[in-house]
Chain A
Amino acid sequence: MSLNLKNNQLRNQGFSIDAITVARKLSFLKDQSMRCTRCGACLQGCISYKTRNMENFSPRGRIQLLNLILERKIDIKQNEAMLLKCINSCTQCGQCSKFCAIDLKTEEFIFELKNYFSKSNSRTKYLNFYHKYSSTLFPFLSFGKKIKQAKKEDTKKLLLTSKEGLNFAAFTMALLPSSRVVKNSLYLSEALYLGNKDLLAYILKNLKKEVKSYKKAELYTDSIILWRFLKNISSFKEIKLVLPNIKESEKKDTLYIINNNSFKEKEDISIVSCLNANFFVEFTQDIIHTPANLFWRDLSFEEEQVFTSALKKYEEKTLIALCPEDKIFYDKIAKKHKIKLDILTLAQISDERRKTK
């Protein structure tokens, strides 16, 4: 079957669209992954290789893995445990393709691999969903790369952005024009989520180094999770939390997940979720848990009931989510239980504001 035919022609020959796209994708993947010369240039960028020190967790290794799968040299069912380890260790940050001399987009291959295995693993599915989501809604901010940066000389403020705050990065960029996003903070939240201790230690070490190199700069973050985490580490004590201010008049028909007070720059904040996330047994009052924290696992039946009953109260109103994960999470539940809700993220509000200005 020639894959150069157009979709229409193929359909006339009796192929289903699904089969065509799958076949196209496979041949594309094979073509691309065969091009890898195994020179190893990608190794210098890969954070999972640097921390795990094994070829299984390197971009080059993953491309070879894809090759082996496409050539059917690996029994997928028998080797599922290691396969998932290899694939899930990829943070899809795109650093490897930055160093690749022939521009192989390894993170995209992993995207396909993750998609392929998503049926059996819920965490992978979410991860993947997030990446797809962030790249379609915020194409100018594809993760780990193209963040617009102020010139190094002008930098006065350093931004730490977490993964869920990616669009916040754009938002805060507007607030603080002469600021610079610290690269390692992007991985930091990934490490927090994945609970990878090696990765965490490695990133913290590099983060300290990077922050030290800007002597006069102040450290800001818009991610509550990062702020909480770094505040407890002695060398990051000066870190400030920046959250957007929203006027009283704008709040009428909308529902905020976080308390009004928390929208101001404050050292200590208390956040009470309207959706009663704090009622869950394992959470205590003094730790902030946005739904994003729950995002990484499947909800139990009881947890889901609490969420749906809370959401139902606000039917046909606008809901503002703290971060994209929150939005994905609410979207998912609302869709499942057929609740009509308008869900916006803070960044989307700021986008609208900017447009009106």
Chain B
Amino acid sequence: MMINNNFNKARQEISSLIGAENVFCDTISCLLNGFDGSPVKSVPQAVLNIKKPETLWPLINLLIKYKIPYTPRACATNHDGAAVPLKGGVILNLKPLNKIEKIDTKKGIAVVQSGVINQDLQEALAEEGFFFAGDPASGAFCTLGANAALNSGGAKTLKYGSTLANVLAADLVTSTGALMHLERNFQGPDLLSLLLKSEGTLCVISRLWLKILPLPKQKITIQADFKNLDQAMKSVEEIIACGIVPSALEALDEIALNTPGKEASLLIELEEESSLEKVKNICARNNVLDFIIVDEKEAKNLWIKRKEACSALARLNKAVISLDPCVARSDLALAIKKIKEILNNYQIKAGIVFHAGDGNIHPNIVCDPSNLYANAQISKAIKEIYAFIGSIGASISAEHGIGIEKRAAMSFMYDEKTLNLMRQIKTILDPFNLANPDKILPLATKSLKEPYASKQKNIIALQEKIKEAKEINIKETLLSEVKEILELDKKNWLVKVQAGCPVSELEAFLNKHKMSLPIDSSFEGTIGKAFAGGAFKTMADFVTELEFILPNGEIYNIGGKNVKNVAGYDLIRFLCGSMGVYALITALTIRVFAKDTKEPLPAKEQGTFSPASIHKSLKSIFDKENKFNKLEDFNVFKLKKQSVEKPRF
């Protein structure tokens, strides 16, 4: 821990700002607020209770002025060490901000402070017949602010998207000390997602506007037990392949189940009765042992059992380490086999629970922290698992976040230039490394991944062109020769396409295969324009992989075939609607759906955006020489102050 006297200098000012009764400097408070759900511990210098959201802005400015590191923390139920104050400093205890401010069922919006517990909101909404789609397993004891900061997923992600897809707007204080109200509907790059999903390294959230949905009319919960894990995996594959999108598709293995004779059990939740027959047939084809449609009470019990599975495994030994890699659905069986093999090689016991629908595996390793030999074995095994995950192009974290635990493993997943890009974002927005310092990005380790290079000839030519040009206007015509449809992955329901491909052409191609895009197909223009032009601000929810070129001619590739990915900063969402200011998008992998099952996103009028100083500082990273589209061109509404806009709702 870095000893820092700055806090003592600032203490009086802080006390007068938030009240002396909310400043805790005693040994016990400090010791009890320096841990979270991970094995990592540290000790802060003080704990500050934030009781009013308004105090957050002046407080953070004060902390920046005195250069005191700060770490936001509420319930600290995360598994990755993101709430541990690595450099000492102060803990901002956001749990007292637990007010549900407004529930507007007509507009479908709930306004909450960041310390509201997920289940409290769900209960309040259930009275009105609504629900919030972000539903992590720890929903009963984790806060919504943290859900947004880690973009947590959960069982319902496959159908409704992860937490970020359900956040409409937020009030936040950035690490530069600016108070901002950001909405996803704002034109321009999606700053909201970039700042929110930073595990507190770029901002502290004070208030959230969440999308709420009416409760489904009916819910059919099915428990299907299989003798063999492969059979279960095959059924999952087939269920998804025939176009059904269940609201939840969970699986448990034998150790997690603790029942002899059954190797796997699936928990399927459907909202349409029509697909029940299909699911039944598929399971029967794969030799299902029991196929039970459970009633409401039983379903509740089953869900409790599933959600408790992780911590309940601790009964087998003293502690549980929970991993959360996410692979493409078609790789699921292979990945599980490989992970089991690695764990067996090191003689480690682990129960595997997974969100089968979106390829997210949770190997819960059971261990004894005091056994040093076993610990060394476990860390070797985990390293091997991450190396394997990195090698197949999947994500090391689907919902838990990176924090400290997976920091080093980032080097398996991203190449050096991508890591550097993320490092630069952190440095420019937080020059003194005060906001939740030393998280997410590996400190010293160099990337073990080979730098990404495109094999497409037309893209290599484009790279050369950009490198040589002194100034280049990013528009559709630039990509007139980059319009191939690269791959249609029927198993995973993904299509990989180059950005110059017109939307109508792509839709026609998909229609041949009885599929359709999640966006309005009557949109005139290329898929790249649809993504970057700002017509579909939430299109990034359906994009799993993005290839783009920066003004220096370097090519980057982020994401993969996995549906969930929370590793690092959310550059895919950030570049959605960026209008060619920051990067040239060359290829995308988009989720597709069975025809006529999903209502496509409507196109909105493309507008301009009003750049704030944060846009400018980000521009200096992506585009130092100001080669691409100029920010000044968009400067339509000149803003007087840093605080961008007042809350709209």
Contact = CB atoms under 8 A, between A and B. Distances in A.
A26 interface: no
Contacts of A34: 318, 370
Nearest to B138: A40
A34, A54, A75, A86 interface centre (most CB from chain B within 10 Å): A54
B140 interface: yes
A53 interface: yes
Interface in A27-54: 34-35, 37-41, 43-44, 53-54
B141 A79 contact: no
Contact of B37 (A38, A75, A101, A102): A38
Given A53-B49, A53-B95, A82-B26, A68 B31 contact: yes
Interface stretch (B100-108, B190-198, B309-317, B544-552): B309-317
B142 A73 contact: no
A78 interface: yes
Contact of A37 (B32, B115, B319): B319
A198 B85 CA distance: 29
A79 B49 CA distance: 20
A55 B24 CA distance: 12
B27 A74 contact: yes
A61 interface: yes
Given A38-B35, A40-B77, A54 B93 contact: yes
A204 to B, nearest CB: 17
Given A54-B95, A79-B26, A37 B37 contact: yes
A41 B33 CA distance: 17
B93 A53 contact: yes
Interface string A71-87: 00111001100110010
A137 B297 CA distance: 35
A35 B28 contact: no
Contact of B31 (A35, A64, A78): A64
Interface size class of B (residues with CB under 8 A): 35 or more
Contact of A41 (B27, B49, B76, B308): B308
Interface string A201-243: 0000000000000000000000000000000000000000000
Interface size class of A (residues with CB under 8 A): 20 to 34
A34, A75, A83, A102 interface centre (most CB from chain B within 10 Å): A102
Contacts of B36: 38
B42 interface: no
Nearest to B318: A35
Contacts of A68: 28, 31
Contacts of A101: 308, 310-312, 314-315
Contact of A39 (B33, B37, B98, B115): B37
Given A39-B37, A39-B77, A61-B32, A53 B98 contact: yes
Contacts of A53: 49, 93, 95-96, 98, 115
B28 A82 contact: yes
Given A35-B314, A53-B115, A44 B28 contact: no
Contacts of B370: 34
7 contacts: A38-B37, A39-B37, A39-B311, A54-B24, A64-B32, A86-B28, A101-B312
Q: Which 8 A-B pairs have the closest CB atoms?
A: A40-B77, A101-B311, A101-B312, A53-B95, A39-B311, A53-B96, A44-B141, A43-B141
Interface of A: 34-35, 37-41, 43-44, 53-56, 61, 64-65, 68, 73-75, 78-79, 82-83, 86, 99, 101-103
Given A53-B115, A65-B32, A102-B311, 15 more contacts: A37-B37, A39-B311, A39-B314, A40-B75, A40-B141, A41-B138, A41-B141, A43-B77, A54-B29, A74-B28, A78-B27, A79-B28, A83-B28, A86-B32, A102-B315
